[in-house]
Structure 1
């Protein structure tokens, strides 16, 4: 015991945020895996690199674009020619699926091969220079390359030509600069992916907050007045921190497109998680089950839930006895009066759904759900770090006492 109610309340709240952030992260990763979000994100980035034309994907007003979580599925001659190259074609898990990650050397190889294919000369560097000159020609020129044969937009070809000039015709240096260009673009592409995943986490976070009735205001109120619940939450948080010094699955949201097992220091099961779709999905679902058990333990303490039981008992005065986690004000309006001859009231499926949707539109619950969703969208690593620091602070205070 530290004697600090405020600190214990914050620890309990952060622990709840951590558990639901992990749960949301796993759900988001399952969604991302099934929607091939990484592959689509990569395709969007490569299209931006090689194509000058705008507006080939979906064109949304800026306000709508803020809520768009899926990258545009670009279909044009340039991107099709790129993905049809043997260096990229077989990197996908299946013949009709694009790869979710390619290496810089793959990108440079495709670009060089396509440039040389439209050039002429006896040496490799001559073919590259000739090919770039043809690709830089304006439409209508005698040697202009038609769209079906193109691999680069004209402005992109001019940019690559300037790179070759900077390298002073050194082929190895030129290849290295193309790889560096790809790596720089992938760094920004990773930021696009993170932004999209954060939007997904926010949506999932709100849905979880609503379905499980994780109202931040209610949690704070419960922990502030219920010492037993507060102590149990602190114990659960302490046990969790001791048993989970580092949660590798929480990193899945913030990984780059080119996930590297040696950098992340993952074990063999986690490598399979990244490289093989089925193993990855299975591992995610197994971890989800473990998290659901942790959530069930925490929710039992706090009495969280948005689903009414099949029946509710009546007291001696024939009033319904509501569990702590049920909002009596909302439930009483839905259930109405009870039959005095019965000792319990049966809850219909319609009443359960009615109760669930009434919770969504109540004030200030909806604000509490939104705050919870914002907290969840910050990600599990953030809350795990905060919880670690709070537990150390609590330990230091306890030692002083």
Structure 2
């Protein structure tokens, strides 16, 4: 009896794992194609180093619709332009005279601090288009780029801070806090910049995942309805398959009751009356396990012929699919499937490893 429930658990977990991988794959393809992760990172850097557009707004979109509808297609791309050449060995100082800016009544000049930072990071970039594709910056690489900008100023950290404050960069306040906390020690300052940037990236990742979970929910709902995946019905199919295999094993062992149970099962499955030819039906049923039947109720069905010389056939299953979709009896199973897919492929892979005893590779 324990093996029956174990087979049921493994079958359900494997089905959820495959569908979760499909959800993750579609989401990752969408993110990579539109460069959302890279744009999200550089929108944050624009806000932090240069301030929002016109010093009054924010580059980071405020809502889910903005992230996945406005940010990918906006002409106002926050990413710097990709430079194929390596970064110049000589770093130029910021072209700002802080004393002249503070003495004048006019607005401070516009300086692309983000572009200067990219100039120190472009070695880790790879060409995928007109804009940079950098979507992750290691904290130690970021602190090294900041120290290169510091080395270009005559006054060191104080000189860079004075110029950043003169142009109204929000980065000046963060950098001054780290500088004062390090007690004006360069080694502590570098470590402080790393820790600060690492904390900011964790906060940004949390914000990004908050947006992505709504996309994952939408994809999970769409795939569940597209494949008409009823978890409760699928569980019953797994149990019927287990009972069928048990009957076949009983026949192999010479059990008379198992033969009667198998004959009844074959009549139900193969829709035959009178005498039953068991061998062909057993082969057909065993070649279509419950896992394959997940996609039998999709809007577009795929049939793999037993003959290897024939190509797979595709059929429109719209009528039966819509009938299942509008049947209230399937809705609880759809809801369970959507909730299960929200846990992600990593969760279900871990559960599958625990159930099957698969151990991960260790170095």
Q: TM-score, normalised by structure 1?
A: 0.55
| C-alpha distance in structure 2 between counterparts of 1:189 and 1:386, whole Å | 29
Deviations 1:66-101 (A, max 9, x none): 895579576499895313541134543324233122
Compute the displacement of 1:372 (Å): 1.0
Match of 1:132 in 2: 161
Q: How does 1:326-341 map to 2 (within 5 A)?
A: none
Q: Secondary structure at the match of 1:100?
A: coil
Match of 1:157 in 2: 172
Compute the displacement of 1:380 (Å): 1.8
| C-alpha distance in structure 1 between counterparts of 2:217 and 2:137, whole Å | 29
8 Å CA contact retained: 1:299, 1:305: no
Counterpart of 2:352 (choices 387, 391, 399) is 387
| C-alpha distance in structure 1 between counterparts of 2:114 and 2:186, whole Å | 21
Compute the displacement of 1:46 (Å): 2.6
| C-alpha distance in structure 2 between counterparts of 1:202 and 1:376, whole Å | 8
Unaligned runs of 5+ in 2: 81-109, 247-287, 304-313, 358-363
Deviations 1:330-372 (A, max 9, x none): xxxxxxxxxxxxxxxxx996xx445444544442434422321
| C-alpha distance in structure 2 between counterparts of 1:214 and 1:182, whole Å | 43
Change beyond 3 A, Cα 1:5–1:48 = farther
8 Å CA contact retained: 2:143, 2:193: yes
8 Å CA contact retained: 2:11, 2:291: no
| C-alpha distance in structure 2 between counterparts of 1:307 and 1:79, whole Å | 55
How many residue pairs match? The answer is 268
Q: Secondary structure at the match of 1:102?
A: coil
8 Å CA contact retained: 1:214, 1:304: no
Q: Secondary structure at the match of 2:18?
A: helix
Match of 2:125 in 1: 92
Change beyond 3 A, Cα 1:130–1:382 = same
Match of 1:203 in 2: 218
Compute the displacement of 1:188 (Å): 2.8
Q: TM-score, normalised by structure 2?
A: 0.59
| C-alpha distance in structure 2 between counterparts of 1:47 and 1:310, whole Å | 48
Q: How does 1:289-328 map to 2 (within 5 A)?
A: 298-301=290-293, 304-307=296-299
Compute the displacement of 1:297 (Å): 6.0
Which protein has greater RCO, CA pairs closer than 8 Å, 6+ apart?
1
Compute the displacement of 1:169 (Å): 1.9
| C-alpha distance in structure 2 between counterparts of 1:11 and 1:348, whole Å | 30
Deviations 1:305-338 (A, max 9, x none): 2236699xxxxxxxxxxxxxxxxxxxxxxxxxxx
Match of 1:82 in 2: 114
1:36 aligns with 2:35: yes
Match of 1:56 in 2: 58
Compute the displacement of 1:378 (Å): 0.9
Unaligned runs of 5+ in 1: 137-143, 232-295, 312-346, 393-401
Change beyond 3 A, Cα 1:69–1:220 = farther
Q: Secondary structure at the match of 1:157?
A: helix
Pair member with larger Rg = 2
Q: CA RMSD in A?
A: 3.9
Q: How does 1:64-75 map to 2 (within 5 A)?
A: 65=64, 69=68, 72=71, 75=78
Match of 2:238 in 1: 223
| C-alpha distance in structure 2 between counterparts of 1:50 and 1:25, whole Å | 33
